[in-house]
Structure 1
Amino acid sequence: MPPTNTSVAHALDIADQRHWTRRPPVRPSARLRHLLHSQDGTLLAPRLFAYPQALIRWADGDTSDLTPTRATLIEHEIYRTWQPEVRRRAHQQILEHDGCVTVQLHARFSFTTPSGEFPDPRLRRLTEDLPALHARHLFEARHGDATEEDLRRILADGIGEAYFFRALPPDQQQAAVNIADLHAVQFHY
């Protein structure tokens, strides 16, 4: 599992690559032309930590002052917005046909009970299939541009049900699982 991906949203976007019917542009200028064609530059600029004029200059091919960090942000934005209808159809087919959404995590967890929060200092490496309800919530949240915090909460609930509380009867599941420190995440579906 690649150790660099700590974003649930980006991990979902990377997993969606398998369902794309066309590849996104590769060069930063071509990526920016596509992004500026599909959304307003004044809304895109803050996400890329750039000025709208810089986006236009980069889209025209002058990438002399484009930093590697901004190029990575442009890549993440392309992955986030590429073929949204194809992505929705793929997610719907996965959910309708009892498809499996597997997550690999390398993280620390904490547990919240009525008597308080209890951090677990162990760094766990888990591979679990998410319950269908949690996979549905995760896909819906991603389509709704939910925050990273919301996506982590949904993922933590699914991991709690699939791993931590799978042997308990439903009436004994009183603890809430939280992802305290996410080192890596990857999805397969």
Structure 2
Amino acid sequence: MPPTNTSAAQALDIADARHWTRRPPTRPHARVRHLLRTQPASLLAPRLFCSPQALARWADSDTDDLTPVNATLIERETYRTWQPQVRRRAHQQILEHDGCVTVQLHARFSFTTASGEFHDPRLRRLTEDLPTLHARRLFDAHHEDADEEDLRRILADGIGEAYFFRALRPDQQQAAATITDLHHIQFHY
């Protein structure tokens, strides 16, 4: 998998790979077999833009019609589903021991306040430690297969608290930060 991307879910999967106890399968047919053990072909096929029959062929090592796009999707899905218990344990240990969840991103933001919404045209490069509450919410949402929009909302709330609004006194009203354009994201924990 590429080391960076524009998807919060994929960035979490890449960061989780540092905690795996075993490497995932590398051959396409072995990856497809792993995926078919974790979910039925009828649910997996639409995610990989193929038919259940194609999945059965690929699992039997007949990968003649496997396109590079399908291979990339299979790889991403394998990373997403590999060692879920190891991930949960690692996340729990990080949160219980006040571990640091650092996010590095290159993005544009907008802000919603009582007086309206403001779009910041600047492309910001930020590296921030997420507050523990937001890291927990992000991990929980990722474990529940939340969509990208939900993950970005949680991430924006955490970045807002950690970076944009950290200088505000508790009695001051905070604005809501929203990620409007994400160019790069990477997690470290």
Please classify the TM superposition score into its range, dividing by the shorter chain length.
over 0.9
Could you tell me how far apart the structure 2 residues matched to 1:155 and 1:88 are?
Answer: 19
2:175 counterpart residue number: 175
Could you tell me how far apart the structure 1 residues matched to 2:51 and 2:171 are?
Answer: 53
Cα shift at 1:184: 0.5
1:33 counterpart residue number: 33
* Mapped contact 2:107–2:179 kept (Cα < 8 A): yes
* Mapped contact 1:4–1:183 kept (Cα < 8 A): no
* Mapped contact 1:110–1:180 kept (Cα < 8 A): yes
1:152 counterpart residue number: 152
1:9 is the counterpart of 2:9: yes
- RMSD in angstroms over aligned alpha carbons? 1.2
2:166 counterpart residue number: 166
TM-score (normalised: structure 1): 0.96
- The count of aligned residue pairs is 188
For structure 2, the residue ranges without an aligned partner over 5 or more in a row are none
Kindly, what percent of the aligned residue pairs are identical? Answer: 81
1:9-62 CA-to-partner distances (Å, cap 9, x unmatched) read 010000001110000001111100111122100010111111100111111111
SS in 1 for 2:105: strand
Which amino acid letter does the alignment assign opposite residue 10 of structure 1? Q
1:135 counterpart residue number: 135
The structure 1 segments of at least 4 consecutive aligned residues displaced by more than 4 Å after TM superposition are: none
Cα gap change, 1:172/1:3 in structure 2, threshold over 3 Å: closer, same or farther? Answer: farther
TM-score (normalised: structure 2): 0.96
Which amino acid letter does the alignment assign opposite residue 23 of structure 2? R
Cα gap change, 1:3/1:79 in structure 2, threshold over 3 Å: closer, same or farther? Answer: closer
Could you tell me how far apart the structure 2 residues matched to 1:103 and 1:71 are?
Answer: 28
